[in-house]
């Protein structure tokens, strides 16, 4: 297959707002990137109905018909094994076969995790590929894998002291401390994450999901409270006009949807999971994320740094 395009498969049926938002996000991504090719995976007639609302480059968009849909509440492994004609399974297989460079879905997290391991496959030496969402901080997004030299790595804990934490944290601390090539700075409390005191934050999936959801809820609440305060009087409205440009830029930095989705690290291909309620802008940014990751050969760098397998060459 030609390397002219970065090829991304998008689950058109996954998520609370499918197919409207995934299709819209895909079209927006195609408008931005001329070297992007998108395959929308899902029920063809539904996808075509949504596409009829837009003008798009037909030579860079195709549809892969997939008749089944994996629901959010379904047992993940069973769903992957029994619904072989689902948009998630078909999309993951495109990555496995090398037809597409990446797969983006807002569908079932469990099915995506299970399918990523069973269908795309793990890199040798990786036992459980984690989801790695990028979260905004005062010093840039946490888990920045695209440009920070010698990133600061911290372990989430209830205190800075090495002896604190549950059994898993206590077991993980010395492993990170002894790992060569990692700039491990020790424990970090959740309250220190927004200040940007680490570039990479490590925690178990449960704690990470709690932190992420709190982030989202707090950011949304603060944005609404700020808007209410600025509109509360004539004086504040005048002030709002003066600070609007700066405030808009600041709020955008802390808008978690602007960072795309969460890639699964340690797979033999790129799989990105967005929020279940992802709107078009988040889908678009997740596709953009895949574009950047593919161009920078993040998977190849990951493999090379881990010393697990011979990395593939980056795309020109």
pTM score, whole prediction: 0.84
CA dist list (Å): 177 to 145, 193, 198, 277, 289: 20, 20, 15, 37, 30
Q: Return residue ranges of the chain for CATH 3.40.718.10.
A: 6-133+260-306
Q: What does the pLDDT read at residue 140?
A: 76
**Mean pLDDT for the stretch of residues 205-233:** 88
Least confident of 109-113, 167-171, 220-224: 220-224
Give pLDDT tens digits for 264-298. 988 999 999 999 999 999 999 999 989 888 877 77
Class of domain 6-133+260-306: alpha beta
In this prediction, residue 93 has a pLDDT band, given cuts at 50, 70 and 90, of: very high
For the chain, percent of residues with pLDDT exceeding 90: 64
Of 63, 57, 3, nearest to 31 (Cα)? 57
| Strands 152-156, 102-105: pairing kind | unpaired
Higher pLDDT, 64 or 148: 64
Say if CB 293 and CB 132 are below 8 A apart: no
In the predicted model, is pLDDT for residue 170 greater than 60? yes
Burial of 249 (0-12, 13-18, 19+ CB in 10 A): exposed
List pLDDT tens digits, range 224-264.
898 899 999 999 999 888 888 888 777 777 777 777 889 99
Q: Which of 79-93, 147-161, 187-201, 236-250 has the highest mean pLDDT?
A: 79-93
pLDDT surpassing 50 at residue 304 = yes
How far is it between the farthest Cα atoms of the chain? 64
122-149 tens-digit pLDDT = 988 888 888 888 888 888 777 665 567 8
R_g over Cα of the chain:
21
């Amino acid at each position: 297959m030609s390397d002219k395009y970065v090829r991304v498969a998008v689950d058109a049926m996954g998520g609370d707002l499918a197919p409207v938002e995934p299709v819209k996000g895909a079209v927006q991504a195609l408008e931005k990137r001329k070297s992007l090719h998108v395959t929308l995976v899902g029920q063809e007639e539904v996808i075509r109905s949504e596409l009829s609302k837009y003008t798009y480059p037909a030579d860079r968009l195709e549809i892969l018909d997939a008749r089944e849909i994996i629901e959010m509440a379904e047992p993940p492994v069973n769903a992957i094994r029994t619904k072989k004609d689902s948009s998630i399974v078909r999309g993951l297989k495109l990555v496995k076969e090398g037809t597409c460079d990446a797969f983006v879905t807002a569908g079932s997290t469990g099915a995506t995790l299970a399918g990523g391991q069973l269908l795309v496959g793990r890199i040798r030496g990786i036992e459980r590929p984690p989801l790695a969402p990028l979260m905004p901080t005062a010093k840039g997004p946490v888990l920045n894998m695209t440009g920070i030299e010698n990133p600061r790595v911290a372990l989430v804990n209830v205190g800075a002291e090495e002896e604190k934490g549950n059994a898993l944290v206590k077991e993980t601390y010395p492993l990170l401390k002894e790992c060569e090539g990692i700039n491990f700075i020790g424990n970090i409390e959740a309250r220190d994450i927004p200040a940007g005191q680490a570039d990479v934050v490590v925690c178990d999936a449960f704690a990470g999901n709690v932190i992420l959801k709190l982030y989202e809820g707090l950011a949304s609440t603060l944005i609404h409270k700020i808007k209410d305060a600025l509109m509360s009087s004539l004086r504040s409205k005048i002030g709002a006009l003066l600070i609007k440009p700066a405030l808009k830029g600041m709020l955008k930095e802390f808008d978690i949807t602007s960072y795309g989705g969460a890639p699964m690290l340690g797979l033999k291909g790129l799989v990105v999971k967005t929020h279940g309620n992802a709107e078009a802008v988040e889908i678009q940014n997740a596709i953009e994320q895949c574009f950047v990751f593919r161009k920078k050969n993040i998977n190849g760098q990951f493999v090379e740094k881990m010393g697990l397998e011979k990395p593939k060459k980056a795309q020109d």
